[in-house]
Amino acid sequence: MKGIRIFIGGSILLVIAAPLFVAVIWATGVTQAIFGDDFLAGIHSTVIDAVPGLVEDSFAAAQEEGAISDPVERQWVAAAAQADVTPSQFLEKVGIYTWLREELAATIDEVGEALRGERDPKEVVLDLGPLKAALTSSESRLYFQGILDRLPLCNKEEVERWKELVLHDRRHNLPACNPGTPIPAGALDVMLARITDVPDKVPVLKDARLPRGANYVRLAGQMVWLAFLLPLVFLLVGGAIAGVSRFAYLAWTGTTLIIGGLIPLFATAALQEFIAAGIDVDPGRWEYLARSPFWTTKASHVLAARMSDVASEVVTQLFAPVGAIAMTVAGLGLLVLVLAFVMPGSRER
């Protein structure tokens, strides 16, 4: 009879309660991260702030000897390298980085406010007006025109190819030559028109259907913490069945909590390593996804390294609450297990 109780109770604890703890810990931790202020703030402090350095380093690597195998791409990079400013300096000068740091960052903050019920979700709008103005500004035209002026003149066949490619919006295949007036101005008009063919303001939560005033952050937090009641019920039931003595009850309960806490803790660390390894895979293989010679160059390796650093920081912020909750549960289990051995009379079977 005792053996049957231990088998049934142990099965409930190890097959049902422990996996439920793993699932709830993951759900609670990830929910806390996504809906927390620190995670949203970390997006613009980690990702947005890393963009200038990422662009600068990638462009510097693209200029290294032998970095680009395709002669056309190499000529375009060489022409851009002769400009008065680097691509990153150009983006800063025309205000694109400012738009990222101010407008995009503010919109991310407003999403958090809408989720906390502090703002009407319909009021969260991303203003693309400054971005479009930057791309179509006289500074932008002068920059792109300057790159064209540093290229050799096109022959008749290349001029026709320019016309055809611009007409079909295939800018990445443009010949590395200057087609001359009036093609450059017309090409810039066509390309900039297509780039800016979007509304000035884009509702971010247009289809979210979130009622105004509802604090989804608090609601999500309460729901996931309440979800702990389910594994706790199975923990109590399974422990009561398998606990043929006080020692057995505490030992089974503590062991279940330790298992339920350690699995998500180790799984989180393994997943972080897996994501980092996936980004660090030789970006030369990315050409199967993006058929561009640039992706098989040294610049792509620099880009991959910088992206890996940024992604690692974001993933760390995302999984930090999971690890904290998992350690708490495992620590509680260890405490219960210690009590099983030190509590007076607990080892009486």
Say what the pLDDT of residue 289 is.
44
Q: Which contacts qualify for 35-42: CB closer than 8 Å, 24 or more apart?
A: 35/115, 35/216, 35/217, 35/220, 35/221, 36/217, 36/321, 37/112, 38/317, 39/317, 39/318, 40/108, 40/109, 40/111, 40/112, 41/109, 42/313, 42/314, 42/317
**Span 182-204, average pLDDT:** 67
Say what the pLDDT of residue 291 is.
47
Judged by DSSP in three states, 262 sits in helix
Q: Is the pTM of this model over 0.85?
A: no
Tokens linked to 121 = 């979700």
Answer yes or no: is pLDDT of 326 > 80. Answer: yes
Measured CA to CA, the distance from residue 147 to residue 177 in angstroms comes to 10
User: Given CA atoms 96, 97, 100, 105 in this order, what sign does their dihedral have?
Assistant: negative
Give 158's pLDDT tier (boundaries 50, 70, 90): confident
In a domain, 150, yes or no: no
Q: Which of 244, 225, 247, 255 is nearest to 332 (CA)?
A: 255
In a domain, 317, yes or no: yes
Q: Which of 20, 95, 28, 85 is nearest to 59 (CA)?
A: 85
Answer yes or no: is pLDDT of 168 > 60. Answer: yes
In a domain, 104, yes or no: yes
In a domain, 348, yes or no: no
In a domain, 325, yes or no: yes
**177-186: burial string, b at 16+ Cβ within 10 Å, e else:** bbbeeebbee
Measured CA to CA, the distance from residue 154 to residue 271 in angstroms comes to 51
Say what the pLDDT of residue 288 is.
43
Tell me the pLDDT of the chain averaged across its residues: 77
In a domain, 177, yes or no: no
In a domain, 314, yes or no: yes
Residue with tokens 């703002």: 119
Give 257's pLDDT tier (boundaries 50, 70, 90): very high
Distances (CA, A) of 100 to 126, 127, 162, 191: 11, 11, 32, 22
Measured CA to CA, the distance from residue 27 to residue 48 in angstroms comes to 27
Q: Which of 127, 133, 57, 125 is nearest to 95 (CA)?
A: 133
Highest mean pLDDT among 79-88, 194-203, 308-317: 79-88
Answer yes or no: is pLDDT of 349 > 50. Answer: no
**Does 3 or 333 have the greater pLDDT score?**
333
**Span 291-313, average pLDDT:** 64
Give 347's pLDDT tier (boundaries 50, 70, 90): low
In this structure, the chain runs to a length of 349
In a domain, 99, yes or no: yes
Answer yes or no: is pLDDT of 193 > 70. Answer: no
Measured CA to CA, the distance from residue 53 to residue 138 in angstroms comes to 25
Say what the pLDDT of residue 207 is.
56
| Domain count of the fold of the chain | 1
For residue range 100-142, what is the model confidence (pLDDT) as tens digits?
888 888 888 887 777 767 777 777 888 888 888 888 888 888 8
Domain housing 16 = 2-136+196-340
Give 256's pLDDT tier (boundaries 50, 70, 90): very high
Q: Which of 83, 77, 82 is nearest to 63 (CA)?
A: 77
For residue range 20-47, what is the model confidence (pLDDT) as tens digits?
889 888 888 887 777 766 666 666 667 7
Q: Which residues contact 191 (CB under 8 A, 6 or more apart)?
A: 166, 169, 171
Residue with tokens 């450059």: 184
Angle between helices 298-342 and 51-62 (to 10 degrees): 140
